[in-house]
Amino acid sequence: MLLARALELAERGARTAAPNPLVGCVIARHGTVVAEGFHVRPGERHAEAMALEVAAEGAREATAYVTLEPCAHHGRTPPCADALVAAGVGRVVVLAGDPAPHAAGAGLLRLADAGIPVDVADDDDPLAIAARRQNAGFRTWHLLGRPHVTYKAAQTLDGRTATRAGDSRWISGEASRARVHELRARAGAVLVGAGTALADDPELTARDCVPAAEHQPLRVVWDRGLRLAADARLVRTTDRGPVLVLCAPGADPARRAALEAAGVEVAEAADLAAGLAVLHAREVQSVLCEGGQALAGALLGAGLVDRMLVVTAPKLLGDPEAPGLVGATGTVVARMDEATGLAALACEQVGEDLWIDVWLREPR
């Protein structure tokens, strides 16, 4: 399917396109592909422009299959809707509208005004759902005014995320850990709580990616009391990527000064929603949360988790005192029909582990 191919093409910009959306384009005549394109990074050609350049005169009366509504505004590159009109395409098929207020509907209107038939996929079309998920960060940033939050955790078969002593290396297998590095390479930020930062002393960079990651995520610690030590691995590796600590208003000025002197940025946030607002202001569109059960519970309790990736390894601890997946959410559920519902769920085996992919909120 040509639209499915366009989605595949869009994925090629997954590590580099942000804060722009992922977009893929296929130009075809009578079912035969004439040209393909995708958006690589801000300031470079959009997917439609790349495909049109390759197609040249072959674009005339052809059909353009695009994963996202073509833009109609002048930014760092010219409007794609105008380029499609100028190329003389005969039809445009779009999987998802643009959620940005300055762009929503404008591209479709420009094409229609030029007399070009436009087909937009139904909202419940599986490929349209995939297109919205592909740009979940971009869509959430524009429509909800915060980054899209994915909570990722590894657990044993009996639901434990570490031993009672706090040891969690390694629950998941090598293939799963490699996938996590790829997720980091695609994320705008990686978030942990102070407990995880102290217990695991993580680096949180994207390593061992093939090809090597061009982009390193912003590394964020939710640390109300500024407990992060000045010699922590996160602090010692600021040359490999920025680190931001979100603390409570009025946190210890001396500890703040020590972290800032070491190259760590510190910002105050009254609660998690305010913390996400800080990230939104920095144009962070997607957050991969790798924190422990306390942070997971707080985020879920505040309704701030959009997606969960739960990695279940074929191991047993058999210790009821070992920490579990999610801590207190602030709500006590007495009946099973009061439990949090899920929008969608999928499972995949990765190496020896089972990945459960849960969408609590579908991107609009």
Marked catalytic residue, from 36, 44, 48, 69: 48
10-residue mean pLDDT profile of the chain (364 residues): values are 96 94 96 94 92 93 97 82 93 94 88 95 96 98 97 93 85 93 95 93 86 86 95 93 96 95 96 98 97 92 94 92 83 83 85 95 89
pLDDT digits (tens, 9 = 90+) for 320-337: 888 888 887 777 788 888
Residue at token pair 């229609």:
112
* Annotated catalytic residue 352: no
Q: How far apart are the first and last CA of the chain?
A: 24
The pLDDT value recorded for residue 210 is 67
The pLDDT value recorded for residue 37 is 97
**Domains present along the chain, CATH in parentheses:** 2-133 (3.40.140.10), 145-359 (3.40.430.10)
- Collapsing DSSP to helix, strand or coil, 33 comes out as strand
Let me know if 261 is exposed, middle or buried by CB neighbors in 10 A (0-12, 13-18, 19+). exposed
Residue at token pair 């030029």:
114
The pLDDT value recorded for residue 82 is 92
pLDDT digits (tens, 9 = 90+) for 174-197: 999 999 999 999 999 999 999 999
pTM of the prediction? 0.92
User: CA torsion, points 276, 280, 286, 289, in degrees to nearest 10?
Assistant: -20
Between CA 97 and CA 128 the distance in angstroms is 10
Q: Which amino acid is at 129?
A: I
